[in-house]
Amino acid sequence: MKNKYSIFSLIKNAFSQHENWKQAWGDPEPKREYEAIIIGGGGHGLATAYYLAKKHNMRNIAVLEKGWIGGGNTGRNTTIIRSNYLWDASAGLYDHALKIWENLSQELNYNIMFSQRGVMNLAHNLQDVRDLKRRTHANRLNGIDAVWLNTDQVKEFCPIINTSPDIRYPVLGGTLQRRAGTARHDAVAWGYARGADEMGVDIIQNCEVKGIKRNGDKVEGVETSKGFIKTKKIGVVAAGHSSVIANMAGIKLPLESKPLQALVSEPVKPIIDTVVMSNAVHAYVSQSDKGELVIGAGTDAYVSYTQRGSHDVVEGTLKAILELYPIFSRMKMLRQWGGIVDICPDASPIISKTNIKGLYFNCGWGTGGFKATPGSGDLFAHTIANDEPHKLNAAFNLNRFVSGDLVDEHGAAAVAH
């Protein structure tokens, strides 16, 4: 690695007041032609480019980003990583990602601040208890760590939770995945960008895709705000804007784009050292290393590309947070924002070829894409390079909406958005 980050480089740069660090990735102008083009410079897109270069030796590739890298949903999520999904296909997909997360800082030589602080999912009624117990059994059969905690154990694991039986939705227990946790979202995009750039990938920011050029049933290139770029393979990783790109190519996707909101509080001293999610009352909270509470709210129930979302959704989430954590009643919220998430009818992603040769889609991650970033990039790169899905993403093909072989994680995922 040209500029390996280490304790020595840190000390060396301290002598020059940290003013001489080299740029971590370049700012190239697009070439006239590439072997493959990735549309979307978020975590998933940059990871795709990184693994295309690293594992499949495709170096003449570009990532096109209409804004700045990591400025979309990568910079807007609540950074939670877990793999405790019910169905075998999902368990395989998300645990593949979790295993990559565990060594990602070392692999990228970039501190992504991966913290396996555990994710706890609460049960508030008898059906929750049954569903979550069933899920822990399914997880363990798939080799994913999961345990069931009763109410006392929940209280012991996270003492600030109100476990009184008198509250509207009492805590009847919960599941815990100890290998789950959080990572620094920006660092993930930056680490992958630096790694990809070093292998010769062109990361082109402020370059909006305006059209997909097709010749019959194969792609020929993309029209962009920086001119036409020729290519035979296009990987679309545009999250909430996937349908917009699909419309350019003349195809339809089974997606609806909706605002998903999150908010952070003022920073306080460490008070919650894990991630607690609650499906039934729709509230989840963790604490960032800066000390802010990071709170995830729900999606608006209508299509919108405005990155804000409705006030009543935030209000509902905060009501639930306050009932579960009365200690937070005087906390002030500092910032609130929305990201546009592309939701599939079965709440599972699409990592797939299309009927158009050379056009691939990685979309439909909906409300939970961040956790899958490394695995998604790895499997999508495999799909693009070989023109065939990897066995771990074979179930997540576009054709499942025709065959009916859906991966229905809607109620089965730990949080039903």
Residue numbers of the site for other proteins (CB under 8 A)? 241, 243-244, 247, 252-257, 301-306, 309-312, 342, 345, 401-404
Least distance to other proteins, CB of residue 309, Å: 8
Q: Which is nearer to other proteins, 30 or 309 (CB)?
A: 309
Min dist CB 241 to other proteins, Å, is 7
Is 257 in contact with 320 (CB distance < 8 Å)? no
Contact in structure between 98 and 83 (CB atoms under 8 Å): yes
Q: Which is nearer to other proteins, 30 or 254 (CB)?
A: 254
Q: Which amino acid is at 179?
A: R
Question: Least distance in Å: CB of 362 to other proteins?
Answer: 16
Residue with smaller CB distance to other proteins, 7 or 402: 402
The residue (of 55 and 308) whose beta carbon lies closer to other proteins is: 308
Which phi-psi region, left, alpha or beta, contains residue 173 (left: φ > 0; alpha: ψ -120 to 50)? left
- When the beta carbons of 180 and 313 are compared against other proteins, the nearer one is 313
For residues 370 and 182, give the distance between their C-alpha atoms in angstroms, rounded to a whole number.
10
| 254 vs 369, beta carbon nearer other proteins | 254
- Residue 87's alpha-carbon distances to 348, 350, 395, in angstroms, are 11, 15, 11
The residue (of 165 and 404) whose beta carbon lies closer to other proteins is: 404
Q: Which is nearer to other proteins, 72 or 191 (CB)?
A: 72
CA angle at 270 for the pair 264 and 274, rounded to the nearest 5°: 75
Using alpha carbons, select from 262, 232, 390 the residue that is nearest to residue 334: 262
Q: At what angle do helices 43-56 and 185-198 cross, to 10 degrees?
A: 30
Q: How far is the CB of 234 from other proteins (least distance, A)?
A: 19
In the complex with other proteins, the residue whose CB is nearer, 303 or 334, is 303
**Cβ 314 to other proteins, closest distance in Å?**
10
**Minimum Å distance from CB 399 to other proteins?**
9
* Interatomic CA distance for residues 306 and 339, integer angstroms: 8
Q: What angle in degrees, to the nearest 10, is found between the helix axes of 185-198 and 88-108?
A: 70
Q: Which is nearer to other proteins, 79 or 261 (CB)?
A: 261
Quote the least distance from Cβ 42 to other proteins, whole Å: 17
- How near is the Cβ of 72 to other proteins at its closest, in Å? 14
Three-state secondary structure of 192-211: HHHHHHHCCCEEECCCCEEE
Min dist CB 379 to other proteins, Å, is 22
Q: What tokens were used for 135?
A: 């899920």
Look-up of token digits 């990361």:
203
Q: Report, in Å, the least distance between residue 407 CB and other proteins.
A: 13
367 burial (CB, 10 Å; 0-12 / 13-18 / 19+) is: buried
Distance CA 214, CA 328 (A): 55
> Rounded to 5 degrees, what angle do the CA atoms 226, 41, 308 make?
100
Q: How far is CA 273 from the centre of its chain?
A: 21
Residue 287 has φ and ψ, to the nearest 5°, of -125, 130
For residues 133 and 121, give the distance between their C-alpha atoms in angstroms, rounded to a whole number.
Answer: 11
